[in-house]
Structures are given as C-alpha cells and as structure tokens.
Amino acid sequence: MAQMRCRTRVPPGSNTIDTQRTPGWNASVENPLLATDGPTRQKGLPMSTDVTEPAPSTPEELKIPWWTRGDLNAFFGLGFNILVNVLTLTTLMIGVIKLPADDVLGTVLPALGVALILGNLYYTFLARRLARRENRDDVTALPYGPSVPHMFIVVFVVMLPVYLATKNPIQAWQSGLAWAFMIGVIVIIGGFVGPYIRKLTPRAAMLGTLAGISITFISMRPAAQMWEAAWIGLPVLAIILIGFFTDVKLPGNIPVGLVALLVGTAIGWIGGFMSAPDVSKAVSDIAIGIPDLRLDLLWSGLSHLAPLLGTAIPLGVYNFTEAMSNVESAAAAGDNYNLRSVLLADGAGAVIGSAFGSPFPPAVYIGHPGWKDAGGRAGYSLASGVVIGLLCFLGLFGVLAALLPVPAIVPILLYIGLLIGAQAFQAVPRLHAVAVVAALLPNLAQWASGLIDNALNAAGTSATKVGMDALGGAGVVYDGLQTLGEGAILVGLLLGTMVTFILEKKFRYAALASVVAAALSFVGLIHAPEIGWAANPQVALGYLFFAAVCLLYSLLPGAKEPVTVDESDIVAGH
C-alpha cells in the first residue's frame, strides 16, 4: 500500500488549516476536521508563534464581503464565457433545429435565464457558507452556466435526428426538453452515489479527465475562431495571459477582461470585421421574453421518452461525473465543496429549466481555478448569473452578437483550457503524470471522431458510406477513435484510475477497476453508441484480460514492495 502523507500549513493572516490532499484520498470524507459541513480549525493547534502575545481563545469572525475588486475581474471573464455559450446555443436552435426565433428568444432563453439566476444565487450562497465555516475570505464560488459539450450533444444527438425524421422543429424541441428533464433526474440520483465514487477515484483520474474536456471541447474551437481573425484574437489573448498569469497590473487595476473585450471590439470595428447594418437589424428584432412554465411541451416530450433513454442515461452519468471532476478541481485549488450539494443543485437546475422550456441543462463549469486566480470570490458568480439572466429576458443577445466580434470574446475560453490542463499536472505527484495523460485520451478521441463526422456530414456523406478501408488508407483509424470516445468521461475516469493503481503497484485495485470497465462496456455505458446487452463484448473481454494480467503481477515478489507517494513529488499547486 502506498504511504500517504498530509501536510498542513497556516497561511499568513488566516485562522484555517490548508490541507493538500494526496490523490485518491478525500479528506472531507475521511477526516471530519476537514469536512465542509463542519469547522476546519483543529482544536488545540496554536494560531500564533509569538510567545509574548497569547493567541485569542476565540478567533474573530471575518466579515465576508459581497463584492471585491477581484470579483469584477472574474465577472467579466465568466460573464463573457457564458455569453459566448448562450450566443452559440441560440444560433444552433435557430440555424440547425430551425426553431422560430420568436420561440428561441421568447421561451428558450428566458427559461435558461431562470435557471442561471437561481443556480448562481445558490452557488454564491454555498461559497459564503464555506467562507464563514472556514473563517476565510478567499473562497471562490463555483462557476455555473450552460455547458459547451451538452449544447452540442442535445442539438446534434437528440434534437436534430428528430427534426430530420419529422421536419417538425417543435417536436424536436419537445424531445430536447424531455432529455434535459431526464438528465436532471439522473444527476439528482448521482448526488447520493457521487460522493462515494469520488472517494474511491484518484485525483489524477478526475483532473486528467477534466483536462481532456478542457483541451478539446473548451479550447480548440475558440483557438480556431481566434486564428480565423488572428489580428483581433491574438492581442486579446496577450492581454488575458499577461493579466491573469502574471502579477503585472493595469493602471488603476482596471479589470483585465473588460480591457481585453474593449480592445478586441475596437480592433474588429476599426478593421471592418463587423457590420453596422447588422446591429440595426438586431435592434429591430429585440423581443422581451417573460418566463412561463411550458409543461405542455415537456409532457409531450416525456410521452415519447423511450427512444431517448439510450442517450439520456449515459449522458446523465456523464453529467454527474463531470461535476464530480469539477468539484475535485476546486478542492485542488483550495475550496472543498460538498459534492452532494453541487449535484443536487445541478440536477434541479436541469429539471427547472426544462419545465420553463430550455433543453440546455446548466451545470457547474470547468474553470474554478481560473476565476480564483483572477481574484473572484463569491460575488462574481451571482453577478454573472443575474446579468446574463436579464439579457435572456430582454432579448438582447442578437444585439450583442452584432456588436461584439467573436475573436474578441473566445480567448477567455482558451485561458480556462490552458489553466485546467496545467492544473491536472500541477496538483498531482509526478508519479501520477502518466495517469493524467491516460485520462486525457478518451476525450481527445471523442473530439477527433466528432470532427470527422461533422466534416463528412458537411460533404453529404458519412463514415459508413465512405467505408473503413478507405478511411484507414487515408490514415484515419475511425472505428478505434469512435470506440475509445464513446462515454469519454467515464472511460477517462476508469483509465486514469487503472493507471494510477498500477503506478502505485496496487495491482488488485487496478484489476477491480478494469472489471468495472468490462461490465460497463458490456452493457453499453462506455465504448458503445447506445445501451444494450452485449453492446461491445470484445472491449469487455479486453478489460477482463487486463484485469487478469494485473492479478498475475500481484503475485510476483516485487509487487509487495510499497510505493511512497510524497507531497514533495507535487510540481505545484494553488
């Protein structure tokens, strides 16, 4: 068994203990002194080294501010992050599903606005509660909004097939609402099992999986959009990188995100990238939307739910495992939230949004460490939710899309991708770096196979029509990419766990994780396009052989020698 050491340190000016956890060990579960539902100060631990002045018997309770200068910085970053995503889903609903703009602006966006305001209000409350309980003022709220992967999944996997089969955008919308509702229910159920899964899963597996999502689905599209108009995007990226990754401050400590947006927008307009007539047209199309319950649409979708279960169940599991990784990322940055509280809120947000007419389940975002480094505390989350929610109600997204150049907005997403990718290696011991890379691979495969599918669809064909031999002759191993990428989040967690246990010579634990992977492959939760009995028996057999090899190695003499995982192995941390 690996020896695990826990180091405590008391930061200057703080009355709390900052504990760096070793991978695979959940301090909040195993040590009640570190649980988020209780105080974190250890009884009897001196809070001062000055022997001339005894430490006070009761630490003075900090006043947690509602707003800080850093919140303004993080607000512009997260706000524009959510803004880009809402603009994208608006375009997808109108351009791909062909839903009338009146329904999108008058129902879908106001429904999303309700979920955003309630969700960000709740996460602001969680942050302030954690700050009070740990008596510190540097707690950062979890970011919350519509997730990029989910947007594309619900549009292209759930709603588009219904639209192509029926040519009825309303029926496609109803299917999306039923799917979002089921996602919410599954995530709520996950709230009761997720904490136990998190306790058993090594940190390298969770952060590596999150880095895979961040590098592919969060970073690559913004990077491509930037280089389409590099003369706009690169100056904005420079401002963001210098402002968020160094200690160089702008005069008057002006918010980095605001300056980046203003500079990029000015360059875009001066350079002729934007069009004034488009702004005029967008202003004329403004329509105020009042949120109202659309239970009729939801009920119609639920009445045809059976065909959606094949994607709703695995993607619901995907949702709660992604949330689990995001909570672990926040813990690595110093804010240890209660996972069950997060999952229940995410599930409730999806259910509430679907009842009001939004097929886009909001979720805790990737990027908490980025907004923490930017100075965000609790207020930035609430401000982002309220402002974006009001924009949804007022129907102003068309105007914003006409005013703001996309290359001036998306660099903030690239910043988040860089930070999360780096954290996966910085917050684990060097020994576990191999496991981080292993956990990255499934999301890379899913992203690559998705690009291939989109390119072939644009050409009016498909991988099946082209043929595997032709694709293989061009160097594209399509079948393997597709198989590896099915259920990418779960696959990443399992691969990362298996490799971590092997690196620590816990071969029997690695075998057990491989048997779990075999079972999930057999029923189609991973490595298969849909759930079914014997969905992919060949992959399941491969995992069983992997387990057998691990068990045989566990019998060898060298397997008995323990591997020490020491804190000094960690490259860096927040």
pLDDT (mean) for 565-569: 61
Dump pLDDT digits (tens) for 421-468: 888 888 888 889 999 999 999 999 999 998 898 899 888 898 989 999
Give residue 569's pLDDT band: very low, low, confident or very high (50, 70, 90): low
Give residue 26's pLDDT band: very low, low, confident or very high (50, 70, 90): very low
Beta pairing, strands 144-146 & 362-364: antiparallel
**Average pLDDT of the chain, as a whole number:** 83
Report the SS3 class of residue 391: helix
| Measured CA distances, 302 to 176, 294, 299, 347, 354 (Å) | 10, 13, 5, 17, 11
Q: Who contacts 451 (Cβ-Cβ below 8 Å, separation ≥6)?
A: none
Beta pairing, strands 362-364 & 18-20: unpaired
Count of Cβ atoms closer than 10 Å to residue 290 Cβ: 8
Q: For position 60, what pLDDT does the model report?
A: 65
Give residue 221's pLDDT band: very low, low, confident or very high (50, 70, 90): confident
Q: For position 342, what pLDDT does the model report?
A: 92
Give residue 354's pLDDT band: very low, low, confident or very high (50, 70, 90): very high
Return the structure tokens found at 45: 């631990």
Alpha-carbon span 103 to 395, nearest angstrom: 11
Give residue 352's pLDDT band: very low, low, confident or very high (50, 70, 90): very high
Which range, 77-81, 272-276, 296-300, 537-541, is most confident?
Answer: 537-541
Q: For position 314, what pLDDT does the model report?
A: 63
Taking only Cα atoms into account, the Rg of the chain, rounded to an integer number of angstroms, comes to 24
Lowest mean pLDDT across 57-71, 260-274, 379-393, 525-539: 57-71
The percent of residues in the chain predicted with pLDDT above 70, rounded, is 86
* Per-residue pLDDT at 99 exceeds 70: yes
pLDDT (mean) for 320-340: 86
Phi, psi of 258 (to 5 degrees): -65, -45
Alpha-carbon span 300 to 232, nearest angstrom: 45
pLDDT (mean) for 82-102: 88
Phi, psi of 429 (to 5 degrees): -65, 155
Phi, psi of 325 (to 5 degrees): -65, -35
Which range, 85-99, 208-222, 539-553, is most confident?
Answer: 539-553
Alpha-carbon span 424 to 474, nearest angstrom: 33
Q: Full-prediction pTM beyond 0.85? A: no
Return the structure tokens found at 532: 């079914």
Which range, 363-377, 417-431, 504-518, 524-538, is most confident?
Answer: 504-518
Report the SS3 class of residue 18: strand
Count of Cβ atoms closer than 10 Å to residue 390 Cβ: 13
Alpha-carbon span 432 to 504, nearest angstrom: 9
Dump pLDDT digits (tens) for 458-504: 888 989 899 999 999 999 999 999 999 988 888 999 999 999 999 99
* Per-residue pLDDT at 44 exceeds 50: no
Q: Who contacts 378 (Cβ-Cβ below 8 Å, separation ≥6)?
A: 64, 66, 71, 124, 127, 128, 131, 139, 140, 141
Report the SS3 class of residue 32: helix
Give the residue with greater pLDDT, 22 vs 136. 136
* Per-residue pLDDT at 383 exceeds 70: yes
Alpha-carbon span 127 to 106, nearest angstrom: 32
* Per-residue pLDDT at 178 exceeds 60: yes
Q: For position 311, what pLDDT does the model report?
A: 61
Is the Cβ–Cβ distance between 144 and 365 less than 8 Å? yes
Which range, 27-31, 304-308, 496-500, is most confident?
Answer: 496-500
Return the structure tokens found at 293: 């319950």
The residue ranges of DSSP E strands in 311-406, in sequence order, are 362-364
* Per-residue pLDDT at 545 exceeds 80: yes
* Per-residue pLDDT at 534 exceeds 50: yes
Beta pairing, strands 362-364 & 564-565: unpaired
